[in-house]
Amino acid sequence: QGHLVESGGGVVQPGRSLRLSCAASGFTFSIYLMHWVRQPPGKGLEWVAAISYDGSFTYYADSVKGRFTISRDNSKNTLYVQMNSLRPDDTAVYYCARDVAGDSTTWGQGTLVAVSA
């Protein structure tokens, strides 16, 4: 089934940067499409970004395009998202997830990012 653990969340000022990590275990990380999905407090789910199994293709929501960069290190079984120019509306719990639309998915517990002065 597999296990995903996000880290790197916290409080950050508007305009600053933050990098989230997601450590994978219990499955072959290097063969899966991986995603970041976020959920603002009290609101619904928003798909954020995805990266192909080998990192050659990346996809972004319009709301983060040009500010967020998704990446992965298959040698470390780790997924990342670099978040620049953060805004208050980026405040959310950020989940990493494996293959959200495919035959087998796993989600992490999430990490909270709060953008506030």
Partner 1 sequence: DVVMTQSPLTLPVTLGQPASISCRSSQSLVYTDGNTYLSWFQQRPGQSPRRLIYKVSNRDSGVPDRFSGSGSGTDFTLKISRVEAEDLGVYYCMQGTHWPYAFGQGTKLEIK
DSSP labels for 16-55? --EEEEEEEESS-GGGS-EEEEEE-TTS--EEEEEE-TTS
Binding mask 29-58 for partner 1 (x = CB under 8 A): ------x-x------xxxx--x--------
Among 22, 70, 108, 113, binds partner 1 (CB under 8 A): 108
105 belongs to the binding site for partner 1 (CB under 8 A): yes
Query: Which residues would be at the binding site for partner 1 (CB under 8 A)?
Result: 1, 35, 37, 44-47, 50, 59-62, 95, 100-103, 105, 107-110
